[in-house]
Amino acid sequence: MESPEIKKQGLNLPAAMSGASLRLDTFSLSLSARSISNLSSSSPSSSKSSTCSDRFIPCRSTSRLHAFGLIDKPSPSKEGGNDAYSRLLKSELFGSDFVSSSPSSSSPAGQSSPTKNILRFRTDHSGGPSSPYSPSILGHDHGLSNEASTPPKPPRKVPKTPHKVLDAPSLQDDFYLNLVDWSSQNVLAVGLGTCVYLWSASNSKVTKLCDLGPQDGVCSLQWTKEGSYISIGTCLGQVQIWDGTRCKRIRTMGGHQTRTGVLAWNSRILASGSRDRNILQHDMRVSNDYISQLVGHKSEVEEFWKISSEPATLAYLWCRKFVCGLKWSSDDRELASGGNDNQLLVWNHHSQQPILRLTEHTAAVKAIAWSPHQSNLLASGGGTADRCIRFWNTSNGHQLNCIDSGSQVCNLAWSKNVNELVSTHGYSQNQIMVWKYPSLAKVATLTGHSMRVLYLAMSPDGQTIVTGAGDETLRFWNVFPSVKAPAPVKDSGLWSLGRTQIR
């Protein structure tokens, strides 16, 4: 039976409890009743005018939890599919120590952490224009982003017409010759018939370097890196070294059985390629004509000999296969050679056998260029039946990219100022094209030659190229920007302080 006093206070007690066992103080009971009365009298309508309490309880409807990704919704992270991104995000925000000590990083597979959405900020795109400072290195909600906040730059404008045109009578229309080269001392060498002429780009002065005579002819030209000496490959298979300043022949070297159509210098060694399919390496410091012979561009003569005894056809095949492209890498360690056996070979200075044999081209490989911006990056171009420019990683022999240019690829050259390259073409469009790497976006297409653009050379500053064709003209084009020069330092003079500036 409940006590009348307890029933009066409005307390409901279990049957097993009595008023004596409860032992409630009258003052405490009245205080509790007053508190209960105050709480029961409060309502949502009166909360607007309520007094301050000892703690803040935020309102969910005004907390903008959607901006921080805290609203419960299906997401890859709740299924354990975005753990790598969460760890990377925490590492960027709190450091690697936080990630390594975080319990979520060491939780068993299949158990999602309750804190995966903390600080997972998402930009609110619903209102107003975004601030220019809003993008962060962590990107948006969908993962890391490499997109720049600024709009893409407009494509660089390349003049469509040459700024200079020179007449070059007797410039041969032969795909397998290399008759134009520009020295580091700003002197252009051109082979015209049996003669070599030097044109100074600084004062436009023309000098006749040599005349090989009626029984010989110029097949290739190549300046040394210093620009003082020039090598000349002849129709008789010789390689001549001339002093470009004194117009004096220094040395003549033999070794090839027929015409020497391509030359390539590194710091000390001159490589020469010929129609005899051989590559000879010459060293000016020794008396021998050549120090090594590289044989790799093999023709089908041996196989044909087994099934045919026609001497005329055999001789024709022998003449068809030869070396037509040579280029040293920027570090002088590797030599790339191309032939009209459709092969691209890569050699190093330690072996007499090619370290790479690339056979994807389906036509002669004359156009070869090493990138000055990335080691082991080689570009090559194929002839009329191929028309493709291919990019190779010579460290493993993998083809990185390929693009069909639409025409016979005659020459390739990388810009040393920007990561772009220029190609010249023959059949059937006779155009000059500038490409951006690695996107291979076309920067410009230049036309003007009426015949195949067989010759290409670049100025020492890397801004201008000169092209030559069988239309007997040399055209100068401004295709590349200048290199970004460092801020100039004011020179106080040699005699003012008694010392020179080193930076």
Strand 260-265's sheet: what is its strand order? 260-265, 269-274, 278-283, 292-295
Looking at residue 154, the DSSP 8-state letter turns out to be: P
Is 327 a residue whose pLDDT tops 90?
A: yes
* pLDDT score at 220: 97
pLDDT band of 138, cuts 50, 70, 90: very low
Neighbours of 25 (CB within 10 A): 9
Between the CA of residue 296 and those of 18, 83, 200, 233, 266, what are the distances in Å? 111, 53, 38, 20, 20
Which residue type, as a one-letter code, is found at position 105? S
Is 144 a residue whose pLDDT tops 50?
A: no
- The residue among 300, 337, 339, 297 whose CA lies nearest residue 316 is 300
Tokens of 445: 């297409």
Cβ-based neighbours of 468, under 8 Å, separated by 6 or more: 168, 171, 179, 180, 190, 453, 454, 455, 456, 474, 475
Between the CA of residue 4 and those of 10, 13, 20, what are the distances in Å? 10, 12, 12
Is residue 138 one of the residues assigned to a domain? Answer: no
Is 218 a residue whose pLDDT tops 50?
A: yes
pLDDT band of 319, cuts 50, 70, 90: very low
Query: Mean of the pLDDT values across residues 77-91?
Result: 69
* pLDDT score at 499: 33
* pLDDT score at 349: 81
Is residue 438 one of the residues assigned to a domain? Answer: yes
Spatial separation of the C-alpha atoms in residues 38 and 19, rounded to whole Å = 25
Whole-number percent of the chain with pLDDT over 70: 64
Spatial separation of the C-alpha atoms in residues 378 and 346, rounded to whole Å = 10
Is 464 a residue whose pLDDT tops 50?
A: yes
Write the CATH number for 468: 2.130.10.10
Is 355 a residue whose pLDDT tops 70?
A: yes
- The residue among 393, 391, 429, 438 whose CA lies nearest residue 410 is 429
* pLDDT score at 497: 33
Least confident of 126-135, 149-158, 164-173: 126-135
Spatial separation of the C-alpha atoms in residues 273 and 83, rounded to whole Å = 57
Is 14 a residue whose pLDDT tops 90?
A: no
pLDDT band of 123, cuts 50, 70, 90: very low
pLDDT band of 112, cuts 50, 70, 90: very low
Is 131 a residue whose pLDDT tops 80?
A: no
Is residue 277 one of the residues assigned to a domain? Answer: yes
Element (H, E) at 323: strand 323-328
* pLDDT score at 78: 47
404 SS3 class: strand
* pLDDT score at 43: 45
* pLDDT score at 296: 87
Better pLDDT: 205 or 57: 205
Tokens of 479: 């295709």
Is 133 a residue whose pLDDT tops 50?
A: no
Query: Mean of the pLDDT values across residues 428-454?
Result: 96
Spatial separation of the C-alpha atoms in residues 4 and 217, rounded to whole Å = 134
Is residue 108 one of the residues assigned to a domain? Answer: no
| Structural domain that includes position 377 | 165-478
Is 301 a residue whose pLDDT tops 90?
A: no
* pLDDT score at 44: 43
* pLDDT score at 231: 98
Instruction: Specify the number of domains making up the chain.
Output: 1
Which residue is it, tokens 């027929």? 258
Is 115 a residue whose pLDDT tops 90?
A: no
Which residue type, as a one-letter code, is found at position 247? C
Mean pLDDT estimate for the chain: 77
* pLDDT score at 475: 97
Element (H, E) at 100: helix 96-101
Is residue 179 one of the residues assigned to a domain? Answer: yes
Is 299 a residue whose pLDDT tops 70?
A: no
Is the pTM of the predicted complex or chain greater than 0.75? no
Strand 239-243's sheet: what is its strand order? 218-223, 229-234, 239-243, 248-253
Whole-number percent of the chain with pLDDT over 90: 57
* pLDDT score at 171: 97
What is the per-residue DSSP string for 124-144? --SSSPPPTT---TT-BTTB-
Is residue 139 one of the residues assigned to a domain? Answer: no
Is residue 340 one of the residues assigned to a domain? Answer: yes
Between the CA of residue 448 and those of 144, 162, 400, 424, 452, what are the distances in Å? 46, 8, 32, 12, 11
Which residue type, as a one-letter code, is found at position 340? N
Query: Mean of the pLDDT values across residues 70-85?
Result: 56
Element (H, E) at 180: strand 180-182
Is 315 a residue whose pLDDT tops 90?
A: no
Q: What is the pLDDT of residues 222-257, one digit of tens each?
A: 999 999 999 999 999 999 999 999 999 999 999 999
What Rg, from alpha-carbon coordinates, does the chain have?
40
Q: What is the pLDDT of residues 396-406, one digit of tens each?
A: 999 999 999 99
* pLDDT score at 322: 83
Is residue 109 one of the residues assigned to a domain? Answer: no
* pLDDT score at 111: 45
Is 495 a residue whose pLDDT tops 60?
A: no
